[in-house]
Amino acid sequence: MLSTFKNLIKCNNIQNIRHMSNFPPKRYSVIKCLNHSGQRKNGVQLGPNAIYNNYLFGMFQQYLMDVPGNKWVEVNTSTINDVPFSNAKVDYKSNTILNASHVSSYCSDVFDKNIESYEKKSNLIINLIGDHSAALGTVMSSVGSDRDFKLVWIDAHADINTSDTSFTGNCHGMPLSMASKLSDKYLSDNNIFEWLKGVNKFDLNNLIYVAIRDIDAGEAEIIKKHNITVISMDDIRAGNVEALITKISGHNVHVSFDVDSLDPIYFSATGTPVPNGLHPSELKYLIGIINKFGNIFKLDIAEFNPLIGTGISSNLAHLADVPFHNINSQKHYVEMIINNVLAPTFRVPYLIP
């Protein structure tokens, strides 16, 4: 199954991509959004700290400063909080979107912190977010910074439901419809998303889906209507990524990565796993291709839930904030993210042997 990909990796020499220069270190920022209100499962708000506090960005940062010709330095770190999780959350201010006021609040903060990172001249912004609804803030900040960027959405799901097509009301399935303003219903819903009115909409011509395979009927209609580029799992396995390369070549690229794009055989610590997903080596290849033909200026990592697929009970949730020697069951997942997403984004070899 992976033979095609192994040959492509060998031919393209993705693992050896480097920027060799004597320029000063490049600058990156990290924004952690500990959100969960875009869905209904506890634990996803722990994902950002589980990643950041374990390798990122202590040993990881030192490693990046030691890579010849490709040095990086962290210039800004921010943390955004959600309301405490409760299985009985009710938001009476909206009849169309679950917890709309909470979602709007942290998305607005994510937007502001991303803009702040641009102002600090960051070459790369890493958004470690809980559920994928926070990508509304990351995408809209990209719109505000570079209208010509391309958005590569690596996910098992299309996340482009509107409040009319969604079966659940969960906002983590709606960020792209909201960013592209396909419906103005939520904009007029008690002015909860008032901050969006002053931001231009995201142009769906700049969207490329990768690895989506669980698509609702309403989403399929939207994808067809707007002729959105889709790189399917069949395309990936056959090495047919020309449409991706053509779309991103010479452009700034915002990658929004949901861990459920990976096959649950390899990564089960997420709330909405879908079979027939990416192998880790396929993911690493794709990130390498994106960074070879485009310039990744922003990376989102979403939907890692340390309480799922790790055998960790909810009463041990605090362990997401402590080093791995106390929580080895998270180590496998975080190392997979570092080696197959962050390493090719920073254009370095494997960061964790």
Instruction: Answer whether residue 125 shows pLDDT above 80.
Output: yes
CB 110 within 8 A of CB 14: no
Asked whether residue 351 is assigned to any structural domain, the reply reads no
Segment 310-348, tens digit of pLDDT? 555 444 444 444 444 344 567 788 888 988 999 899 988
Flag the least confident range among 35-44, 251-260, 309-318. 309-318
Between 30-39, 130-139, 291-300, 344-353, the lowest mean confidence (pLDDT) is in 344-353
Among 44-48, 95-99, 297-301, which is the least confidently predicted range? 95-99
Q: What would the mean pLDDT of 100-112 be, rounded to a whole number?
A: 94
Helix axes 3-12, 280-293, angle to 10 degrees: 30
Q: Could you give the CA distance from residue 88 to residue 86 in angstroms, rounded to a whole number?
A: 5
Would you tell me how many other CB atoms lie within 10 Å of the CB of residue 136? 29
What per-residue confidence (pLDDT) applies to 353? 61
Q: Which pLDDT score, from 0 to 100, does residue 324 have? A: 40
Q: What is the sign, positive or negative, of the torsion defined by CA atoms of 156, 158, 159, 164? A: negative
Centroid of chain to Cα 129: 7
| Better pLDDT: 259 or 316 | 259
Amino acid identity, position 65 = M
Q: Which domain holds residue 60?
A: 3-345
Could you tell me which residue, 22 or 121, shows the higher pLDDT? 121
CB atoms within 10 A of CB 29: 23
Per-residue model confidence (pLDDT) at position 332:
80
List Cβ neighbours of 226 (8 Å cut-off, separation of 6 or more): 204, 205
Domain presence at residue 352: no
Q: Is residue 353 included in any domain, yes or no?
A: no
Residue 350 located in a structural domain: no
Tell me, yes or no, whether 201 lies in a domain: yes
CATH code (residue 86) = 3.40.800.10
pLDDT at 56: 57
Is pLDDT above 60 for 3? Answer: no
Tell me the three state secondary structure of residue 274: coil
Cis peptide before 167 (omega within 30 of 0): no
Least confident of 4-13, 112-121, 201-210, 234-243: 4-13
Burial label, 216 (beta-carbon count in 10 A; 0-12, 13-18, 19+):
middle
Type of residue numbered 236: I
Give the pLDDT score at 47: 92
pTM of the predicted model as reported, rounded to 2 decimal places: 0.88
Residue with the larger pLDDT of the pair 335 and 221? 221
Instruction: Please tell me the predicted confidence (pLDDT) of residue 316.
Output: 44
Name the more confident of 225 and 338: 225
Number of domains observed in the structure of the chain: 1
Instruction: Say if strands 72-81 and 124-129 run parallel, antiparallel, or are unpaired.
Output: unpaired
pLDDT at position 202 over 60: yes
* pLDDT beyond 60 at 86: yes
| H-state helical runs in the chain | 3-12, 47-52, 59-66, 100-119, 135-145, 175-179, 217-225, 233-238, 242-248, 280-293, 328-337, 343-345
- Cα 270 from Cα 46, distance rounded (Å): 11
> Alpha-carbon distance 222 to 305, whole Å?
29
Q: What does the pLDDT average to over 30-47?
A: 93
DSSP secondary structure of 286-347: HHHHHHHHSEEEEEEEE---TTSSS---GGGGGGGGS-GGG-HHHHHHHHHHIIIIIHHHTT
